[in-house]
Structure 1
């Protein structure tokens, strides 16, 4: 299993490159994000199976999230504890990044739109707002207010341009249209606890999932949001991040403060298909490799980044390639 140590830096976010299947970006912070600076690592899985550093760059505050450009293989945007976003060109990591600074508190989430019609960035902050950015402009295009507590995560729909979801410490999930920033298109109480993460199904534009500090993962159908369409149970502590598979409609993964990474199939069971415990601290970052079925990456506060292929995902991938006739 390829593993990389980020010395004296605690992992918050990992993302596979949408262009190069071996490339991974990892956002980290000193002192568990409570003080000190941050480091953005560009890593690569090499042919002998190792995970090596290609480049790294420093920021004066902790880095909490990272996302790749969908149009340029070298551009990465990060989110930091000083309320800013940084646009890095990792082909020249020694150059200072382009910065965007409007949030008044920590920026905890950043996401780059995946639809080719539009190329925008979302930032979600502890100042209770989400902002929309054009990477080519210095000021935000819109600010979305409506959450009453800090916004942990905002994610673009991979299907519908101008649509995104946000989740907050106020327990709500909100769905927005960027053309109508005054109020959300939909809003519901998703958990009786803080909601830390959300993600969209890659095969059904109406399905999304939320992960809460109650240890639950819930699925929602935009056509009827009166109650969840699935609920996954098994995490002992908060679900820090949830991600849908880009290869299977009903498969998703989660990482948790209980040190685990879990694989789920919401059509098969409310219990995890597999539980992986290879971290000794909170697990924060998680991503699927869209180029390689069955491969995921995670990172945690133990300063470790892992790239691995859980048995359950490999079995599902094999079943897709060799269906029963």
Structure 2
């Protein structure tokens, strides 16, 4: 099938890592980028808008000392967003101002690889890092509110549940998805010993035999997650299908034991290389998009077609790794992709 050409803009010298639609403006996009493919050098985040007569246009950009790996819009202030940097810093920006961030935090000891804003408790956002930790932040506080020693290795992504503001999910190089409940007691009820607050996950899903690079919550099914990574597959998990261990199995409650498992409901196979990003549609419970090192973005349905296929659409104009994708929050079927070819594409499936 012939595809209409996408709307596109090009930022020479900067490879894109993440793209995010504004929750306030239907046509506004933020893009996190890095020079030299993020290996060394500075970063830049770009602000773009979509609309006639130019189609898509770059409005402004902000330079940083290190590469940027992710960006998340504030759920409170329409002109503010946070970025995740390779130097371990997190910065908040106001796009009505020029040049300098309005706040900065430096607690992570290695690259910050993801940031995500809580869309229920709108005064919180979360970050994850290669140092193995997840941190919960308030824009009004100079220090993080909570640190989770989530994994023993790089945490590629951490996301708040869109259904419960106290539940977090993460994925890591260790091949697992983990769920954390911020309401668990600060210590386990034992006689003489205290645990580090929130160090134990309430659910661990052995999702892959290799690195899990991305995850996302289904927007319509509260305990359904998608994961993707180096094994080239996208997997859909029902986290209600768990095996309980320890005191949790005896009725102790969250935080008193461990839960492992999670039933894999669907395997989506077709990418030729690692899947770098997966995101559920905000408009349909059965639709999700994926971005891959095979230079494509693909759209899948968890409900197979009459011919048995789950693949709905392939977007392949990019000429380098596609590492980010994002659904429009306002217009159904509209996707943005970003790539190491320094291009952002916006198209309708």
**Does the 8 A contact of 1:230 with 1:270 survive in 2?**
no
Corresponding position: 1:58 with 2:58: no
More strand per residue: 2
Q: CA deviation at 1:265?
A: 0.3
How far apart, in 2, do the equivalents of 1:223 and 1:270 lie? 26
How far apart, in 2, do the equivalents of 1:295 and 1:98 lie? 32
Q: What SS does the corresponding residue of 1:32 show, helix, strand or coil?
A: helix
Partner of 1:30: 35
Partner of 1:298: 337
Given candidates 277, 280, 297, the residue that maps to 2:319 is: 280
Pairwise mapping of residues 27-176 of structure 1 onto structure 2 (< 5 A)?
27-48=32-53, 50-115=55-120, 117-176=121-180
Given candidates 243, 266, 289, the residue that maps to 1:230 is: 266
RMSD over equivalenced CA pairs, Å = 1.2
**Does the 8 A contact of 1:231 with 1:270 survive in 2?**
no
Corresponding position: 1:214 with 2:231: yes
Give the gaps of 5 or more residues in structure 2: 1-5, 185-197, 242-260
**Does the 8 A contact of 1:261 with 1:275 survive in 2?**
yes
User: Cα deviation per residue 1:99-121 (whole Å; 9 max; x = unaligned)?
Assistant: 01100000000000011x44211
Q: TM-score, normalised by structure 1?
A: 0.93
The alignment covers a number of residue pairs equal to: 309
Partner of 2:254: none
User: Cα deviation per residue 1:33-65 (whole Å; 9 max; x = unaligned)?
Assistant: 000100110100121252111121110000000
Corresponding position: 1:4 with 2:9: yes
Q: TM-score, normalised by structure 2?
A: 0.86
**Does the 8 A contact of 2:276 with 2:293 survive in 1?**
yes
Q: What SS does the corresponding residue of 2:90 show, helix, strand or coil?
A: strand
Partner of 1:323: none
| 223 and 97 in structure 1: CA distance in 2 versus 1, 3 angstrom threshold | same
**Does the 8 A contact of 1:233 with 1:270 survive in 2?**
no
**Does the 8 A contact of 2:76 with 2:122 survive in 1?**
no
How far apart, in 2, do the equivalents of 1:192 and 1:270 lie? 25
Corresponding position: 1:15 with 2:54: no
Q: What SS does the corresponding residue of 1:227 show, helix, strand or coil?
A: strand
Q: CA deviation at 1:183?
A: 1.3
Partner of 1:319: none
Partner of 2:348: 309
Given candidates 199, 204, 208, the residue that maps to 2:221 is: 204
- Could you list the runs of 4 or more consecutive aligned residues of structure 1 that deviate by over 3 angstroms after TM superposition? none
Moved more, 290-299 or 176-185: 176-185
Partner of 1:247: 283
Give the gaps of 5 or more residues in structure 1: 311-325
Moved more, 253-262 or 144-153: 144-153
Moved more, 288-297 or 176-185: 176-185
How far apart, in 1, do the equivalents of 2:103 and 2:300 lie? 38
Larger Rg, first or second structure (1 or 2):
2
